[in-house]
Every structure is written in C-alpha cells, then in structure tokens.
Structure 1
Amino acid sequence: MCGHCLIDPPAFSTTQAGLLYQGPIKQLVHDFKFHASPRAGTLLAELMLLTPPMTQGDALLSVPMTATHARKRGFNQSRWLAERLSRELNVPIVFAKRVKDSPSQRTLNRRQRAANLASAFEFESPPPAHLLIIDDVVTTGSTGHALARAALDAGAKRVDIWAVARTPLGKD
C-alpha cells in the first residue's frame, strides 16, 4: 500500500496492474484510448491476462462514461476491455451509471481528482457481492475509489481493481 492509502484507505480492497504507465506501454494505452486502435486494445487485454488478480470476483465492472464523453471519444476503453476479458474468462459484466458530468481527470492533482468524482457513479440495481473494476490506467485510485464506494453503498461486499497499468509511484 502507498502512503496515501495508509492514511486514507480507499473503498476498494486491492489493485492489480501488471505494467507501468511509461514508455511503450504509455504509447500503447494512448493509441487505444485516444485513437480507438483495436490492435492496441487487443494487446492490452492479452497483457492483462498475463497478470490476473488473485481473486476473479463475481462480475467485471467497467468504468462508466457520460453519454457526451463517450460520443466525443467514440468508445469507452474500460468497457471495451471488460467485454474482451469477460468473454475470455467467462465472467459476467455489470454496469454502473455515471451521473455526474465532470472534467477529465488527466490534468488534476490527487485532491482535485477525488473531489471531481465524488458521487459521480450509481447503480440501478444491487451489484454482486464481489466486483472487479476494469480500467486502463490507475494513477491516484480516485476513479476506483469513487466507483467502489458507489458499489459498496449499493450492496457489494468487496471491490477490487484490475487495470492495464499504473503510473509510477511519485508521478501522481
């Protein structure tokens, strides 16, 4: 656990991210996320499968986007990854809804990221007991924390994160 998590524990239990968000991995994520490259996405999903989490969970949960943001980008990279992993692992996907349209997290610091996503997600029906959030990059854990908090409030008992990569410590 990082120092921030020791001081202010997140709502999620664990994070599995087998790669660092730097160099070729950063470029691959960028190609997937901002240029909708299915070739890059397929490779990222395959890389995720090489470093699976210790516990799989009852269902996968992609990070939801607002409809406006999804139209602007053209697709939801988290959902794309979750669909591929779901098929490969034979694990269902559940969905949450993004109810707060907030700015991109990319340029925000840790405190701003947490405030930006407070009460941003909700579930329309109770989720399974153990969820596994699928994301591309974990930086501060703010997205995972906000989504996990919503899942726990809706009835989940445990939430973990499985991401492609994490930013190197000290880079958030």
Structure 2
Amino acid sequence: MDWKKLSTTKITQVYKSIFLNQCYICNAKAQSTLCNSCNEGLPANLNHCQHCKRPTHSADILCGNCQTSRPAYHICVAPYRFEGIIKTLIHSIKFNQGIHYIRPLTHLLSEHLIESYSTDHWPEQLLYVPSHPSRIKERGFCQTKAMTTQLTKDLKERLDKNPPTVPKKNPLKKIKNTLAQHSLSRKERLKSPQSSYQLDGTIAKHVAIFDDVMTTGSTIENCTKLLLKAGAERVDVWVIARTPDKEN
C-alpha cells in the first residue's frame, strides 16, 4: 500500500470537508462548489447554434454566420451565456481580483467537458488564449492561464486518465495590445487586427483552446487558423460562456 499517497488523499478530503463545503456565492452548505439554488440560477446556454454555440432563440440550428462562413474549429463547448451570475463572476475575476471564483467556474466547465467527451476523443494538448504582457502587468495575472491551471486540476481529479497536457510555456502569444474586447462594439471587434497572436512552440495533432468568454469568435478563429497552419489536425474550443447578440 502506498501510505504516502493514502495520507495525501486523506488530508485533501479533510481540507475539502472543512474549507470547501460551502457555496462560493451564497456561503450555504454545499457538496460541490455551488449550492443547488445558485446552480439552478446560472444562465445555461440551452438554445444555441450547433457549431459555434452562439445563443439563439431555437435549439439545434446552424446560425447564419456558420452557414455563410463555418469556423475552422471542430467543436465548441460553451455551457453558459455571458450574463447574470456568470458575467458577474467572470468580471469579478478579471477586474476585481476575485480569483477565488476561478474554482467554481472551472469546476462547472469540467462537468460539461466530461459529458461532451463521453463518446469522443479527448484533445492531446490544452492551450489558452493569453492576454498581452502589458495587460497582465496591469491586472497582476493572466486569468486564462490561472483558469487553465485549475481546470486541468479539476479534470485530473475526475477523469480515470490524464487530462490534455498543458505546455510549461504557452505557444500562443499576444503580440499586439489591442483594446479590451468588452469595450468594443461587435462591428469594432470584427475589425480588430487578425495578426494579434503568434505561435512559438510544438503543437499536437488534436488541440483544445481555452478562453473565458467568446463574443464574436474572431479571436478564437484567428488562433484556430494559426494552430491548423502549424500542423494541428483538429482544434476544439472550450469557453465558459458565450455572449448573446444584443437585442436591437
């Protein structure tokens, strides 16, 4: 018997039972990161485009953009709409140092990923969409890097095999410090420079790209094309939330 491993497992169980047995939002007793009431209040992305997961009014359709110009990635996992509690938590992480909310969000995403890949092959490699160095310096950390680290831990605990590997040095780099996407209109986002990112590193055949939120999808599409050009044969997209189109 591996006593060292057993001891570490027991210590982890005790730690979780003492410190992680309450909801991250309302502090009520909870078996997971969120209580049932808060979990039920999350804006689930139920009606969406089959391919890009853009929220729509009807389920199981292909949106106009995907019919006209289908994105290059293979699948997209986007379990929530970027509104309500989800929007509040992500904004808290990015703009108010609310890094403690990373754990419940990545835990929720890991649940949906395990369901999505129950009959599919898991990616070999996991990359994240990085912020520009000046933005990281301003914020104090890169939220997508921190989320990817926690997400990998969540998957490792819950899968019976190793999750996709995360390179020590992320091959994706942002080389142009463009304006923050949340400050731009959809039209302005689509006009953003398409050469804001570059690749520097070894790319696996089957890759997943993680980002916290997908709005127009232009950033993800740019990164996907870079990966495919570098030798990837399949690129999957993992995001926590997808932004609904604004009502006119």
What TM-score, normalized to structure 2? 0.64
Shift, 1:152, TM fit: 1.1
Once the two structures are superposed, what CA deviation does each residue of 1:46-80 show, in whole Å capped at 9, x if it has no partner?
11112114343111111112110111111111111
Q: What are the within-5 Å matches in structure 2 for residues 111-122 of structure 1?
A: 111-122=187-198
Aligned 8 A contact 1:19 1:165 in 2: yes
Aligned 8 A contact 2:75 2:236 in 1: yes
> Aligned partner of 1:62: which letter?
Y
Q: What are the within-5 Å matches in structure 2 for residues 2-151 of structure 1?
A: 2-52=63-113, 53-54=116-117, 55-89=121-155, 90-94=163-167, 95=170, 96-151=172-227
Aligned 8 A contact 1:117 1:146 in 2: no
Where do 4+ consecutive residues of structure 1 move more than 3 Å? none
Structure 2, unpaired ranges of 5+: 1-61, 156-162
Measured in 2, the distance between the counterparts of 1:62 and 1:110 equals 22
Measured in 2, the distance between the counterparts of 1:143 and 1:65 equals 11
Q: Per the alignment, in what secondary structure is the counterpart of residue 154 of structure 2?
A: helix
> Aligned partner of 1:145: which letter?
E
For residue 162 of structure 1, what is the aligned residue in structure 2?
238
Shift, 1:123, TM fit: 1.4
Whose strand proportion is higher, 1 or 2?
A: 1
Q: Per the alignment, in what secondary structure is the counterpart of residue 164 of structure 1?
A: strand
Measured in 1, the distance between the counterparts of 2:188 and 2:72 equals 18
> Aligned partner of 1:102: which letter?
T
What TM-score, normalized to structure 1? 0.90
Aligned 8 A contact 1:97 1:121 in 2: yes
Shift, 1:91, TM fit: 2.3
> Aligned partner of 2:102: which letter?
G
Shift, 1:110, TM fit: 3.6
Evaluate the alpha carbon distance shift between residue 2 and residue 63 of structure 1 in structure 2; reply closer, same or farther with a 3 A threshold: same
Shift, 1:111, TM fit: 4.1
Once the two structures are superposed, what CA deviation does each residue of 1:75-103 show, in whole Å capped at 9, x if it has no partner?
11111111112233332114211122211
> Aligned partner of 2:110: which letter?
L
Aligned 8 A contact 1:64 1:76 in 2: yes
Aligned 8 A contact 2:107 2:154 in 1: no
Is residue 171 of structure 1 aligned with residue 232 of structure 2? no
Measured in 2, the distance between the counterparts of 1:28 and 1:101 equals 24
Shift, 1:119, TM fit: 1.4
Q: Which has the larger radius of gyration?
A: 2
Aligned residues: 171
Q: Per the alignment, in what secondary structure is the counterpart of residue 79 of structure 2?
A: strand
Measured in 2, the distance between the counterparts of 1:40 and 1:102 equals 26
Once the two structures are superposed, what CA deviation does each residue of 1:129-172 show, in whole Å capped at 9, x if it has no partner?
1111111111111111111111111111111111111112x239
